Amino acid sequence: MNAPLPADLTPRHDWTRDEIAALFALPFPELLHRAMTAHRRYFDPNEVQISTLLSIKTGGCPEDCAYCPQAAQYDTGVKAEKLMDIDAVLEDAARAKAAGASRFCMGAAWRSPKDKDLDAVCRMVEGVKAMGLESCVTLGMLTGAQAGRLKDAGLDYYNHNLDTSPEYYRHIITTRTYQDRLDTLAAVRGAGINVCCGGIVGMGESEKDRAGMIAALATLNPHPESVPINALVQVEGTPAAKAAPLDAIDFVRTIAVARITMPASVVRLSAGRETMTEEAQALCFLAGANSIFYGEKLLTTPNPETHKDMALFARLGLAPMPTKSAGN
């Protein structure tokens, strides 16, 4: 089956798995052409949204996500720490803004936040917003009431990834269900907060599973405003560290299919860039990626140094996306 692009590239939410599998199977030049066509319909292809990610509460997580060095049951060398002080978080946010970030993301290794911790996070969100930055947090599962509190604090985005296909999910996580994740997304949507939701590839899944993950995302209505596509960072001590690395072309294909199926969403080239060549990253931008995490660390794993990103942007003629556009 050859899945055509809608004539007007209007986002659709009825993608079938067969259609998405057909996109993955397209010849590479045709796939990139379709992705670039979709990208140019909604975005300036020469602009990339820049986010910075800070771990505000590291380690000690009771979940068993097979890829995560912060899971308490894995011996990865990551120590459990307390929630950071608000002033220290805001100092990091100010540095991120000075370095060119338009969005500041804060991650906490919790199954779900306690109310007393949410008090502090809400104050962090208020401080980040006061600097003129967009705010994003990832705190685990949320209730509707908790999402409402974050909305009242001014939160712009909530990140909660689906991680993989519904079928492969049980091989990666057993401590929460796929439906738990969908319920949190519904709570976030219900509160009027933008959704940041994507997944991780290279965890031993098949192309069919990658198509299933994209199908799960592309049939959400509305689509997530931000779609991070992560390449597994293999951390010694985690079960997923044994997975064979994903071929770079297969990763680019995943970016392209995400762009085609969710054309108005910001697609983030997320974790795993540290081990990608500049040529692979350039292909990802051609395929429709228009967001990156900027800074030397993503929670607990390495990320390319800031000056390297800026040098690559200069070589490719890319520029940071203005905040008003980055809010798409």
How far apart (Å, rounded) are the C-alpha atoms in residues 128 and 303? 22
Marked catalytic residue, from 103, 181, 196, 259: 196
The 3-class SS string of 150-187 reads: HHHHCCCEEECCCECCCCCHHHCCCCCCHHHHHHHHHH
Q: Extract the tokens encoding 87.
A: 């002033």
Tell me the C-alpha distance between 230 and 250, whole Å: 13
- At 52, phi and psi to the nearest 5? -120, 140
299 within 8 A of 274, measured Cβ to Cβ: no
Q: What is the largest distance, in Å, between two alpha-carbon atoms of the chain?
A: 55
State the catalytic residue, choosing from 61, 122, 197, 284.
Answer: 61
DSSP secondary structure string for all residues of 9-56: ----S---HHHHHHHHTS-HHHHHHHHHHHHHHHS-TTEEEEEEEEEE
- Catalytic-residue membership of 284: no
122 part of the active site: no
- The catalytic position among 40, 95, 111, 136 is 136
65 is catalytic: yes
Structure tokens at 116: 């007393």
197 is catalytic: no
Phi-psi region of 197 (alpha: psi -120 to 50; beta: other; left: phi over 0): beta
Does 105 participate in catalysis according to the annotation?
A: yes
- Please tell me the distance from the alpha carbon of residue 323 to that of residue 30, in angstroms, as a whole number: 32
In the structure encoding, which two tokens stand for residue 257, read together?
């299919």
87-113 in b/e form (b: 16+ CB < 10 A) is: eebbebbeebbeeebbbbbbbbbbeeb
Instruction: Using alpha carbons only, give the angle 31, 35, 40 rounded to the nearest 5 degrees.
Output: 150
User: What values do phi and psi take at 305, rounded to 5?
Assistant: -65, 150
The single residue of 210, 253, 259, 268 carrying the catalytic annotation is: 268
Q: Name, in order, each residue with C-beta under 8 angstroms of 144's C-beta and a sequence gap of 6 or more.
A: 187, 190, 191
Catalytically active residues are 61, 65, 68, 105, 136, 196, 268
